[in-house]
Amino acid sequence: MCDIHTVMSTETTFAIIATVAVLAAAIMPTFLTQASAQGGGITGTDTSCTNPAGKTPGGQQPQCSGGGLTQETENQNPAGKAPPGQNK
């Protein structure tokens, strides 16, 4: 024979699990949007120049001007930090 408390407990547990699942499904797009927005804030930023010898010529920071120079860049977030795994 079923005890009334056991039946109510099972129904309550099911209702709580169902509610949590619905709420999780409802807020999932918010997390995905925030993640893509944060990734969208990462931009390549000029950091220095190097010449063919691998040296940094004076007066060329951070953008290169003149021939034979290689522009060095770094991916940075809006705070100016280089996030891990975002650079070469």
Q: Which residue did the predictor score with more confidence, 19 or 9?
A: 19
Question: Is 63 domain-assigned?
Answer: yes
How far is 48 from 43, CA to CA, in rounded Å? 15
Question: Is 4 domain-assigned?
Answer: yes
- Segment 37-62, tens digit of pLDDT: 455 577 788 888 888 888 887 776 67
Percent of the chain exceeding pLDDT 70 equals 69
Query: What domain range is 13 assigned to?
Result: 1-41
| Residue 55 in tokens | 């040296």
- What's the pLDDT score for residue 19? 92
**CA torsion, points 65, 68, 69, 70, in degrees to nearest 10?**
130
The pTM for the full model equals 0.40
Question: Is 34 domain-assigned?
Answer: yes
